[in-house]
A and B are shown apart, each in its own frame.
Chain A
Amino acid sequence: MNKPRRLHPSTILVTIIKNIKELLYPLLVSFGISLFSEDMGQKLIWVLTGSSAVLIWIIANSFLRWYRQVYYLENDEFRIEKGAWLKRKIYIPLERIQSVDDVERIWHRLFGVVQLQIETASSESEPEAVLAAVTKRDAAKLKRALFRRPRAGKQSPSAGEGEKLSIENQPDRPRLRLSHRRLLIAGLTSGRIGVMLAVLGPLFSIVIDLIDLDTAFFESIFRSAAPFFSLGGVIVLVLIGALGAWLLSIGSTVILEAGFTVRHDGNYLFIERGLLERRRTSLPLKKIQAVHLVESVLRQPFGFVTIQVESAGYGGESDQRVVCFPLLKRSEIDTFLADFLPEFAPASRMGIRPLPSRVRKRMIGYSLPITAGLAGTAWYFSPSWGGYAFFLPLLDALYGYWRFKSGGWQVEKGVAVFRSRLINRRTVFLPRRAIQSRTLSQNPLTRRAGLAVFQARLASGNQYESKLLERTDAVTMIRETDPEPNRTSA
């Protein structure tokens, strides 16, 4: 791996196709314009010569880009040199690497190659380094080289106590694969249905736009289909749409999560998923910033939980989190954590402590003045139906109570745990090695009640806070998450 290497030559072809695809729209438009103009022949000739010149440029450029891009390892750094005309050099120190992903799209499978993405802790949404296509053998070799332990004394500050975590030479390395049954359940409860409706919605509006275009023609269709547009018909249509969206959401879950496998080998967590597009993520355990247990409203009643891990560098993904396992029974969590994320297992085994009972009335009453005010206004302006608006503060109070019941906290072995709910119930585990700053927040009202909020900021850039806790408990949490508990503090 120390000798500079090029990407797989299939990169050239793919770059060409990608570039042409980007140009297709403007090209089609100019074709269209020339077809409708008067001196059509001459315009067409211009467009054709123009586009063939562009084509030659694209081919030459793609070849040059492939030719000039090399990668190699030197001096405990991963280096990429690239750029067809301007040379860019990217040097990534090995200890700064947060994770390595490889993605296998359909065209990758044709050539037996994978795409490698190397992420560091920077907040940029794009991966620091992308190798568009390398053979699987090279990818495996490169990964081994990237994950070789950096030389001693060159530790990054965030590594800290991470060393203690390594369970080297563990004989039976844990591995868990999502069963087909679970995959189906995950699809049924995925909640992607909303997304699918959002996709289908514009489709409907396009259809309606088309109808507007040729009203006369469609009016006749409408008239013949008029009986269908009764209330019952509309309901049936909506149901069919919803069912279709649901099936689509199941399908997309299957495509994304099929064959979901998580592996652990002492220092790294390997996550693999996808039916058409295989994606493998390798995360150093000591760079994991937080673990989330997400219980969506659709899954919580059946006792199912999704586990996510947060790692600095996944700026492009949702809030730097990746799914670590899509569907687990609540009762399986402790074992799962013990196998795959042992650092977080003790805190999980301790269970969640409820919020102090005096917080209940605060969480219920917090937004009541606003919703009650709204309802009052509605009633004032329209006494006839405005009365129904008083369901709003009622719902608001119930929602506040629900959130209070769902909230909780725990701290154990340097891991702080916050549980809360907006819609889904989310339990966040924060290890002290990832916490950058700890804040105790109080306002005059909570100070009098002896309550406080604990806020923790992570190296991933995300900030998490507890619900209102007993001040003494919040202070305990802050003390327990001290990175150097032996030194005296303020």
Chain B
Amino acid sequence: MQQPPQHRIDPLAIRVWRISGILTTIFLYSITGGVTIAVHTFGWTDWITAAGLIIATLSAVPLIFLAPQLRWRYYRYEISEKEVYIQSGFFSIKRTLIPMVRVQHVNTSQGPVLRRYRLAELEIHTAGGGSFSIPALKMNDADELRDRIGSWVRAAEDE
């Protein structure tokens, strides 16, 4: 707990997060567009459109330019035979310990953007619906790590 976890996640994560930030922004703008059409058809006040534009623009800056870098800078992980140690967050920084004996299952997952960069997300689940993620690892590393955690979990439970 004194030292942060050793490993950083793949730097391509920044690009992945930036792309999803851009997608979110596009989504917000298109909603604003739809609302604008509604405003014109029904003769509502223009304030709604203005508010939509402001929200979409203001959220674009942190979503695309700030959060990805900061998140990457603080995201760290370390996995030992005893436990998984993850640091996450960028304003409020959380260091979480998940003992191997508490891990219920591990899986890797991959959306279209992650696949494009040959990355994968590693998810660690505990009882009671807890889920912790290492969001961007090289595909091979993620698979290898998943199998290694799996065998450590079995070893920890046998003791």
Residues of A within 8 A of B (CB): 121, 123, 157-158, 160, 312, 435-444, 447, 455, 457-462, 475, 478-479, 482-484, 487-490
Q: By the criterion CB–CB under 8 Å, are B94 and A440 in contact?
A: yes
Most chain-B CB neighbours within 10 Å: which of A437, A442, A447, A482?
A: A437
Give the residue of B92, B97, B101 whose beta carbon is less than 8 angstroms from that of A490: B97
Q: Which residues of B contact A488 (CB under 8 A)?
A: 82
Contacts of B1 in A (CB 8 A): 440, 475, 478-479, 490
CA A72 to CA B123, docked complex, whole Å: 38
Q: Is the CB of B101 within 8 A of A484?
A: yes
Of the A-B pairs whose beta carbons lie under 8 Å apart in the complex, a sample of 30, sorted by A's number, is: A123-B129, A157-B104, A157-B157, A158-B127, A312-B127, A435-B102, A436-B127, A436-B128, A436-B130, A437-B132, A438-B97, A440-B95, A441-B93, A443-B93, A455-B94, A458-B128, A459-B126, A459-B127, A459-B128, A461-B130, A475-B1, A482-B97, A483-B102, A484-B101, A484-B156, A487-B82, A488-B82, A490-B1, A490-B3, A490-B5
B91 (CB) vs chain A CBs: closest residue: A443
Residues of B within 8 A of A462 (CB): 128
| A461 and B129 form a contact (CB under 8 A) | yes
Per the bound structure, the CA–CA distance linking A344 and B60 in Å amounts to 50
Across the interface, which residues of A come within 8 angstroms of B80, CB to CB?
489-490
Would you call B83 and A489 a contact (CB within 8 A)?
Answer: yes
Bound CA–CA A109/B4 (angstroms): 61
A312 CA to B127 CA, complexed, in Å: 10
Q: A436-B102, A483-B99 are in contact. Are A443 and B78 (CB under 8 A)?
A: no
Say yes or no: A437 contacts B97, CB within 8 Å: yes
Residues of B within 8 A of A (CB-CB), count:
31
Q: Do the beta carbons of B157 and A437 come within 8 Å of each other? A: no
Given A447-B93, A479-B1, 17 more pairs with CB closer than 8 A = A121-B128, A157-B102, A157-B104, A312-B127, A436-B102, A436-B127, A437-B102, A441-B92, A443-B92, A457-B130, A459-B126, A461-B128, A478-B97, A487-B82, A489-B80, A490-B1, A490-B97
Contacts A160-B101, A484-B101 given; does A439 touch B94 at CB 8 Å: yes
Q: Is the CB of A457 within 8 A of B126?
A: yes
Considering the complex, give the chain A residue whose CB is closest to the CB of B98.
Answer: A437
B128 / chain A contacts, CB cutoff of 8 Å:
121, 123, 312, 436, 457-462
Q: Is B85 an interface residue (CB 8 A)?
A: yes
Minimum CB distance partner of B153 in chain A = A157
B133 at the interface (CB under 8 A from A): no
Contact partner of A442 (CB less than 8 A), chosen from B78, B93, B132, is: B93
Q: Which residues of B contact A478 (CB under 8 A)?
A: 1, 97
The complex places the Cα of A121 from the Cα of B130 at a distance, in Å, of 14
A439 and B96 form a contact (CB under 8 A): yes
| Nearest-Cβ distance from residue A91 to partner chain B, whole angstroms | 20
B94–A482 touching, CB < 8 Å:
no
Complex-state Cα separation, A442 to B91, whole angstroms = 8
In the bound complex, how far is the Cα of B124 from the Cα of A321, in angstroms? Answer: 27
CA distance A158 to B101 in the complex (A): 9
Specify the chain B residue showing the minimal Cβ separation from A442.
Answer: B93
A121 touches B127 (CB 8 A): yes
List B contacts of A121 (CB < 8 A): 127-128
Complex Cα gap A135–B93 (Å): 56
Nearest B residue to A312 by beta-carbon distance? Answer: B128
B45 within 8 A of A: no
A446–chain B nearest beta-carbon distance, Å = 9
- The list of the 8 closest CB pairs from A to B, nearest first, reads A459-B127, A461-B128, A436-B126, A439-B96, A459-B128, A443-B92, A487-B82, A490-B85
Q: Which of B83, B85, B89, B132 has the most CB of A within 10 A?
A: B83
Q: How far is the CA of A490 from the CA of B95 in the complex (A)?
A: 11
Q: A436: which of B2, B3, B95, B98 is its contact (CB, 8 Å)?
A: B98
Residues of B within 8 A of A157 (CB): 101-102, 104, 127, 157
Which residues of the other chain, B, contact A443 by a CB distance below 8 angstroms?
A: 91-93
| Best-surrounded residue of B93, B97, B101 (most CB of chain A within 10 A) | B97
Q: Which residues of A contact B92 (CB under 8 A)?
A: 441-443
Roughly how many angstroms separate A484 CA and B49 CA in the complex, as a whole number? 57
Contact residues of B between 72 and 125, Cβ < 8 Å to A: 78, 80-83, 85, 89, 91-99, 101-102, 104
B82 contacts which chain A residues (CB < 8 A)? 484, 487-489
Residues of A within 8 A of B156 (CB): 484
Alpha-carbon gap, A157 to B99, bound state (A): 12
In the assembled complex, which residues on chain A have CB atoms less than 8 Å from the CB atom of B99? 482-484
Choose from B2, B89, B91, B96 the contact partner of A437 (Cβ within 8 Å). B96
Cα A437 to Cα B101 in complex, Å, equals 11
* CA–CA, A358 and B93, complex, Å: 21
Contact B129 A437 (CB under 8 A): no
- Please give the distance in Å from A160's CB to the nearest CB on chain B: 7
What B residues does A455 contact at CB under 8 A? 94
* A228 CB to nearest B CB, Å: 48
* B81, B101, B102, B126 pick with most chain A CB within 10 angstroms: B102
Q: In whole angstroms, what is the CA distance A478 to B98 when docked?
A: 11
Question: Bound complex: CA of A475 vs CA of B126, how far in Å?
Answer: 21
Q: Specify which chain B residues have a CB less than 8 angstroms from the CB of A439 in the assembled complex.
A: 94-97
CA distance A444 to B92 in the complex (A): 7
Q: Give Cα A483 to B38, complex, Å.
A: 58
Q: Which residues of chain B have C-beta atoms less than 8 A from A460's C-beta?
A: 128
Q: Check if A475 sits within 8 Å of B129, measured CB to CB.
A: no
- Known A487-B82, A490-B78: A441·B94 in contact at CB below 8 Å: yes
Interchain nearest-CB distance for A164 vs B (Å) = 15
Query: In the assembled complex, which residues on chain B have CB atoms less than 8 Å from the CB atom of A437?
Result: 96-98, 102, 126, 130, 132
**B78 / chain A contacts, CB cutoff of 8 Å:** 490
Residue of A nearest to B81 (CB): A487
Minimum CB–CB distance for B82 against chain A, Å: 5
Shortest distance from the beta carbon of A459 to any chain B beta carbon, whole Å: 4
Q: Nearest Cβ in chain B — how far from A311, in angstroms?
A: 12
